[in-house]
Each structure stands twice: as C-alpha cells, then as structure tokens.
Amino acid sequence: DGDQDLIIKLYKRSAKLRAKLQPPGAKRAVAAYLRLLPVPSPTPVFWDRLDHPDYRSVLVYEYAEGPTLHQLWKLGDAEAIAALPPFMGALYRTGVLHGDLHGRNLVWTEGRWLVLDLDSIRSGLHSLRRNKIWERTWARLLFDFEGAPEAQELYEQFAQCAGLPGDSKEAWNRILRRYKVIVDSHRSYGIEPGD
C-alpha cells in the first residue's frame, strides 16, 4: 500500500569455503521463514543475489513493531504472557530450531507473537539435540523472566502444547541448572537477570 515499513538487510561475502558452498544468506532467511510457517515472523518481500565486492545478497522484509517478551515481562502483560506457551509449542511442533531464541527475539504485535532473527534458524544435525536446545532456550527466557518461579508454569504449559516426551519437572530442573550457569556467566560481565 506504499505505507509499509520495510527493513533492508545486506549479507556480507565470506572467504570461507563453507559460505561459498551454501545458498546466499538472504535466500536461507527466506527458506527459514517458509519452514517456520504457520508460526509468524516478519514477511520477506524481496531477496536477490548481489554483484558487489562486499555483499553477496540482499533481503527486504516487513518491519515488525511492538514490545519484546523481555519488555512485556517487566510490564506484566497478562494477555501476551498467556499467549506465549501455545506460541512456543507451535514453534516446537514445526521441527525448526532457532539457535538464538530469547526474550528480545520475540515481538508482540497485533495480538500475536512473532519470531525474529531468521538467520539463527538451525537444521540438519542440530535436530539430534532438539530437546537440549529447547531447554537452553527456556533457560535464556528464564534469564529474561528474572528467575521468576511462575516461569515454571509457563514451561509446563509449553511442554503440554508441544507434546514433549518425558517428565516436564525433570526437564525444568535441568533448565534451572543451565539458568544458573547463564546467570554466573552474565554476572561476570556485570549483567543481572532481566537486564
């Protein structure tokens, strides 16, 4: 309609052989968007290869405006927080793994969650460690939730929505152990839970 806000992202060239053998970064991001469906994320509008010495490809996608989960937790937005477990369960059921999912990569807009940072979508061998990656994700979310005890209920709702195998309480204990490691490592840089 002409009034749509867009983001333009340039993907740098890399001298590494692996990068040269892979599709361009913009194309991989579009593929990640399609693999995530029906889980919403900012919609790609255009991508192309570039004949430029520094950049290999370009991606244009819709701008997603709204508060992050990190912000909404501090505000105590009950509607958005209640919508988180089913959203995360739907994301789990896609089978797609996000290697950098935390409270700043989840945006609440128009009454729904969106996943950001499609460049962090993982596939292939990462699926062998799927549940461990999800436990790490929840430990990172717990850091955004400032270690709040009510986060366990959110995790248990997520586990039910996702159809996770095993005991969710045992998984939560593993998440707490990982959370403590995250807290210690962040504190060494002067960063406290919720910062």
Assess whether pLDDT exceeds 60 at residue 177: yes
Average pLDDT over residues 160-183: 93
**CA torsion, ordered 179, 180, 184, 189, to nearest 10 deg:** 20
* Listed residue (36, 44, 161) closest to 106, CA to CA: 36
What band does 1 get if pLDDT is binned at 50, 70 and 90?
Answer: low
pLDDT at 122: 78
User: What is the three-class DSSP state of 50?
Assistant: coil
Average pLDDT over residues 182-189: 94
Assess whether pLDDT exceeds 70 at residue 41: yes
The larger pLDDT score, comparing residue 23 to residue 2, is at 23
Cis bond upstream, residue 85 (ω within 30): no
Type of residue found at 88: M
Angle at 92 between CA 40 and CA 167, to 5 degrees: 150
Tell me the pLDDT of the chain averaged across its residues: 91
Assess whether pLDDT exceeds 70 at residue 169: yes
% of the chain surpassing 90 pLDDT: 76
Assess whether pLDDT exceeds 90 at residue 90: yes
Whole-angstrom Cα Rg for the chain = 18
User: What is the three-class DSSP state of 124?
Assistant: helix
pLDDT, tens digit (0-9, with 9 covering 90-100), for 102-158: 999 999 999 999 999 998 887 655 566 788 889 999 999 999 999 999 999 999 999
Q: Which residue has the tokens 């991606």?
A: 59
Note the pTM of the prediction, 2 decimals. 0.88
- According to DSSP H, which parts of 122-167 are helical? 130-144, 151-162
pLDDT at 127: 62
pLDDT, tens digit (0-9, with 9 covering 90-100), for 5-28: 999 999 999 888 777 788 899 999
